[in-house]
Structure 1
């Protein structure tokens, strides 16, 4: 499978805006994992609760369109130079064929601690609200994550609902 790079300028606008929000800017990391799959969210386990929030915050909500956005991004990657003040760390799953290769790839991330991983924003039809997940990793049993909705209000992306939060 070949890597698919994200070209949509709106995606980078949202990612850069999220990284500038005070609750994330404090992390002050140099590295971000270059993998846009929203792997931090499991529709199988959490779908019913999520869809209730999506209907409320997305306005006109299309479940099929949402799920198609997720499927299309399974092997998507950010482009270097499009995310401000951060170095993208290659996290190439396109050639992984064994658990050992996957474990090795995950172990290689330790040299980039602390780092963040940010999912591709999943947009509503109007593209003014998005669901996104954020994970900060600072080592073994050190990190946290959030899943949240952002909305463009008065020209700025703002968090309107933190859907889920965890600390590791």
Structure 2
């Protein structure tokens, strides 16, 4: 709601929202002998990107969070959102939308990642993707912080665009 996603059932022309959250695999970069480091596989992220990113001038995750972040690689590949929430939104699955794409049909949906949490569970990182056609879509990284018991977006940035 804070990001103004138009996905609720009672809204005309609401966009579909995947009812399963996808996993982001956290990688440790491997430097080649020539010093080059390849970018992470699409959909994955290097732990150094998370640990070194600054939000409002301060490191968001710290080295104390690194083991907790890596342990989250044991998350399942996807997690379904709670049924009480999925009943309120125009929900779909990634498989349904992929089938539409394969058959040349129109599709327009959001896909959210499983949150990556800090050690104290007061900070999180998620990725949100919007797929709206073969050459239409974008992704964004979102840092969240629990403030007074509620999750608040503290920073977003575009990770890709088509």
- TM-score, with length taken from structure 1: 0.62
User: 1:100 matched to which residue of 2?
Assistant: none
Q: Identify the structure with the greater strand proportion.
A: 2
Q: Identify the structure with the greater helix proportion.
A: 1
Give the CA deviation at 1:112.
7.1
Q: Give the number of equivalent residue pairs.
A: 136
**Once superposed, what is the RMSD of the aligned Cα atoms?**
3.2
Partners of 1:38 and 1:125 in 2: how far apart?
A: 18
- Matching of residues 1-168 of structure 1 within 5 Å: 20-22=1-3, 24-25=4-5, 29-39=14-24, 43=27, 44=29, 45=40, 46-47=45-46, 48-53=48-53, 56-59=59-62, 61-83=64-86, 85-91=88-94, 106-108=98-100, 113-162=107-156, 164-168=158-162
Return closer, same or farther for 1:60/1:50 CA change in 2, 3 Å cut-off.
closer
Which secondary structure state, in structure 1, belongs to the residue aligned with residue 137 of structure 2? strand
CA-to-partner distance for each residue in 1:51-95, whole Å, 9 max, x for gaps?
Answer: 212892135633232122233232432233324731332346xxx
Any unmatched runs of 5+ in structure 2? 8-12, 30-39
Return closer, same or farther for 1:50/1:85 CA change in 2, 3 Å cut-off.
same
Give the CA deviation at 1:151.
0.7
- Comparing 106-115 and 139-148, the one that deviates more: 106-115
CA-to-partner distance for each residue in 1:7-44, whole Å, 9 max, x for gaps?
Answer: xxxxxxxxxxxxx024x4357744212332234x6635
- TM-score, with length taken from structure 2: 0.64
Any unmatched runs of 5+ in structure 1? 1-19, 93-103
Greater RCO, CA 8 A, separation 6+: 1
Runs of 4+ in structure 1 off by over 4 angstroms are 109-112
